[in-house]
């Protein structure tokens, strides 16, 4: 490999994760080159981020497994260390990075899960000794929902904050560009070079090559394509999917408040959140479209803008209706097929990954940087999210699939009746239960009691009128024993 100036490490990716890693490696005395197309292009997750430093705001009811707990602990550690991280970055670069603390989580009746999630957030905060207080929604500055969308509960997390992502990215890029042992190259990495099974560098889109004995892939969801192109066994590794998120910025000085106002997580996303920006504007986020759902492709759809604005105006502050619209953007969150971050050595000597941060990349970036730096300096960090972590091994269990179906169908029904809709009577829950039963049956190849009963009925009475019978047997739980 003919790299002009071979370095110890190449970090691929110039978003908040890649930049944080390169900076941290440089600080540890490792000569590092960070290569990426910049952090402001279409699809760059970092630029589209809020960024709430949401350690507790991201808690959802019922997420109780060991990896979920480990991830919560990682978020809490990251949140506690964040002020120090930004202080140091400011000192080092002479730049300011706007940030603030305070997050108000509000629950309303638009989403059935809101209250359970709000309770889970409060309980988790108490359990981990993080300050939290219930507040009267009427007393929350900046919260002024429309009639019919009133909050029915709210809690204040005074220590859970936000950071201005644009200013953070500028400061991080400056730190890497000017660092004694680091440099930043604006280029797209198109492939990883190996020799005799180990990493020797990367190839850029223009065909030139950069040499390094260690490569860290920190390019968000783009890591998947790079891994696919290597031609060496890298794994087993979970796959990466793009979770497209759309966000907008508005200017409304009379509505600007110094804290985050957000709903709990909802319907496959972070819910609606409004976050202050350093220039006095207000960030509104965010949608989430994964995989082949409409709107998952590149670009921003009217439907995404509509759902964001509809929710922000009705659920957070009707004043946004007349705010000055500034801009919108989208980013691709890196989501692993096991839903957890992915950081550490792959099976290819010299090749590391740091991605899979999904909705928490800005918050987790310094922690990923710490883990990678500790690994590369011979310390053995506590890292529950390494590629070969025990929870990642083995076949997908039946219960895992059933849990995914149950949560997915619940959120799907809730998502389908948005914006602001609901079904009459108890139809919402009936539909959810029915779809869960169908999904569970499909996921298990028909091997469930509900599926067997449905087949039995339809074999005996192959008429459309049997479908409501099946529906009520399943949803009212009046199945024959
Ligand atoms: N954490 C905010 C989002 O992913 O939308």
pLDDT in tens, 169-192: 999 999 999 999 999 999 999 999
Q: pTM of the predicted model, to two decimals?
A: 0.93
**What is the structure's pLDDT at 479?**
47
Q: Which protein residues are within 6 Å of ligand 1, measured from CB?
A: 50, 52, 54, 245, 269-270, 285-286, 333, 359
Distance 374 CA to ligand 1 centre (A): 28
- Atom of ligand 1 minimally distant from the CA of 362: 1
Going by pLDDT thresholds of 50, 70 and 90, the confidence category of residue 415 is confident
Task: Return the percentage of the chain with pLDDT > 90, whole number.
Answer: 82
Distance CA 255, CA 322 (A): 11
C-alpha torsion sign, points 373, 375, 381, 383: positive
Query: From atom 4 of ligand 1, which residue's Cα is the shortest distance away?
Result: 359
Mean pLDDT of all residues in 13-28: 98
Distance 438 CA to ligand 1 centre (A): 30
Query: From atom 1 of ligand 1, which residue's Cα is the shortest distance away?
Result: 359
- Atom of ligand 1 minimally distant from the CA of 286: 5
Going by pLDDT thresholds of 50, 70 and 90, the confidence category of residue 477 is low
Pocket test for ligand 1, best of 285, 330, 358, 365 (most atoms within 8 A of CB): 285
Distance 161 CA to ligand 1 centre (A): 14
> Chain-wide mean pLDDT for the chain?
93
Residues in the chain: 481
Going by pLDDT thresholds of 50, 70 and 90, the confidence category of residue 3 is very low
The burial class, CB within 10 Å (0-12 / 13-18 / 19+), for 312 is buried
Going by pLDDT thresholds of 50, 70 and 90, the confidence category of residue 27 is very high
Distance CA 451, CA 431 (A): 16
Distance 105 CA to ligand 1 centre (A): 14
Least confident of 6-10, 18-22, 98-102, 347-351: 6-10
Mean pLDDT of all residues in 324-337: 95
Distance 18 CA to ligand 1 centre (A): 18
Q: Evaluate whether 19 touches 35 at the Cβ level (below 8 Å).
A: no
Mean pLDDT of all residues in 343-364: 97
pLDDT digits (tens, 9 = 90+) for 437-453: 999 999 999 999 999 99
**What is the structure's pLDDT at 49?**
87
Pocket test for ligand 1, best of 58, 269, 329 (most atoms within 8 A of CB): 269
Q: Evaluate whether 162 touches 52 at the Cβ level (below 8 Å).
A: yes
**CA-wise closest residue to 14 among 412, 387, 461, 361:** 361
pLDDT(76) > 60: yes
- Atom of ligand 1 minimally distant from the CA of 54: 1
- Atom of ligand 1 minimally distant from the CA of 247: 5
Strands 289-290 and 209-217, bridge-based pairing: unpaired
pLDDT digits (tens, 9 = 90+) for 225-268: 999 999 889 988 999 999 999 999 999 999 999 999 999 999 88
Distance 107 CA to ligand 1 centre (A): 17
Mean pLDDT of all residues in 268-281: 93
Least confident of 54-68, 72-86, 132-146, 187-201: 54-68
pLDDT(327) > 90: yes
Q: Which residues contact residue 274 at a Cβ distance below 8 angstroms, ignoring those fewer than 6 apart? A: 142, 260, 261, 262, 282, 283, 284, 312, 316, 317
**CA-wise closest residue to 415 among 108, 58, 54, 110:** 110
Mean pLDDT of all residues in 161-175: 96
pLDDT(291) > 90: no
- Atom of ligand 1 minimally distant from the CA of 245: 5
Going by pLDDT thresholds of 50, 70 and 90, the confidence category of residue 222 is very high
pLDDT digits (tens, 9 = 90+) for 368-392: 999 999 999 999 899 999 999 999 8
**What is the structure's pLDDT at 418?**
81
Q: Which two tokens stand for residue 368?
A: 């990923």
- Atom of ligand 1 minimally distant from the CA of 50: 2
Distance 411 CA to ligand 1 centre (A): 17
pLDDT(480) > 80: no
Integer angstrom CA distances of residue 54 from 28, 58, 59, 151, 239: 28, 6, 9, 20, 25
Helix 427-443 / helix 466-475 crossing angle, nearest 10 deg: 100
pLDDT digits (tens, 9 = 90+) for 81-95: 999 999 999 999 999
**What is the structure's pLDDT at 351?**
98
Pocket test for ligand 1, best of 59, 260, 359 (most atoms within 8 A of CB): 359
Going by pLDDT thresholds of 50, 70 and 90, the confidence category of residue 1 is very low
Distance 358 CA to ligand 1 centre (A): 8
Q: Which two tokens stand for residue 443?
A: 């996921």
Distance 350 CA to ligand 1 centre (A): 32
Q: Evaluate whether 295 touches 303 at the Cβ level (below 8 Å).
A: yes
Least confident of 14-28, 48-62, 152-166, 285-299: 285-299
């Amino acid at each position: 490999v003919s790299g002009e100036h071979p370095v110890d490490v190449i970090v691929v990716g110039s978003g908040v994760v890649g930049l944080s890693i390169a900076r941290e490696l440089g600080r540890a005395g490792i000569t590092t080159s960070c290569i990426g197309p910049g952090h402001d292009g279409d699809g760059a997750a970092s630029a589209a981020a809020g960024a709430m430093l949401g350690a507790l705001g991201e808690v959802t009811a019922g997420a109780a497994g060991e990896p979920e707990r480990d991830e919560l602990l990682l978020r809490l550690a990251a949140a506690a260390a964040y002020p120090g991280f930004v202080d140091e970055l400011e000192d080092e670069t002479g730049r300011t990075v706007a940030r603030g603390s305070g997050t108000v989580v509000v629950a309303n009746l638009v989403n059935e899960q809101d209250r359970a999630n709000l309770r889970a957030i409060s309980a988790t905060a108490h359990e981990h000794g993080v300050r939290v207080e219930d507040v009267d929604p009427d007393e929350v500055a900046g919260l002024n929902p429309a009639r019919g969308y009133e909050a029915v509960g709210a809690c204040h997390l005074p220590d859970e904050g936000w950071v201005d992502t644009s200013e953070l990215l500028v400061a991080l890029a400056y730190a890497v560009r000017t660092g004694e042992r680091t440099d930043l190259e604006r280029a797209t990495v198109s492939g990883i070079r190996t020799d005799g099974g180990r990493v020797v560098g990367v190839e850029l889109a223009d065909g030139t090559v950069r040499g390094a004995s260690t490569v860290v892939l920190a390019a968000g969801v783009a890591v998947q394509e790079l891994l696919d192109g290597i031609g060496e066994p890298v794994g087993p590794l979970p796959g990466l999917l793009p979770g497209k998120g759309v966000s907008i910025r508005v200017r409304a000085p009379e509505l600007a408040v110094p804290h985050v106002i957000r709903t709990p997580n909802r319907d496959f996303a972070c819910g609606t959140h409004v976050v202050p920006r350093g220039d006095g504007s207000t960030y509104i986020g965010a949608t989430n479209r994964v995989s082949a759902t409409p709107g998952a492709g590149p670009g921003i759809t009217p439907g995404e803008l509509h759902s964001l604005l509809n929710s922000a105006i009705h659920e957070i502050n009707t004043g946004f209706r007349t705010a000055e619209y500034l801009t919108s953007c989208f980013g691709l969150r890196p989501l692993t097929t096991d839903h957890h971050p992915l950081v550490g050595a792959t099976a290819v000597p010299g090749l590391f990954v740091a991605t899979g941060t999904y909705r928490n990349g800005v918050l987790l970036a310094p922690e990923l940087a710490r883990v990678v730096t500790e690994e590369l300096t011979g310390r053995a960090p506590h890292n529950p999210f390494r590629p070969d972590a025990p929870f990642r091994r083995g076949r997908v269990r039946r219960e895992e699939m059933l849990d995914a179906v149950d949560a997915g169908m619940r959120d799907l029904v809730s998502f389908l009746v948005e914006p602001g809709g609901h079904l009459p009577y108890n139809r919402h829950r009936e539909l959810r239960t029915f779809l869960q039963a169908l999904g569970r049956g499909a996921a298990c190849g028909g091997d469930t009691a509900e599926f067997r009963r449905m087949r039995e009925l339809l074999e005996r009475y192959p008429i459309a009128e049997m479908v409501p019978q099946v529906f009520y047997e399943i949803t009212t739980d009046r199945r024959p024993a």
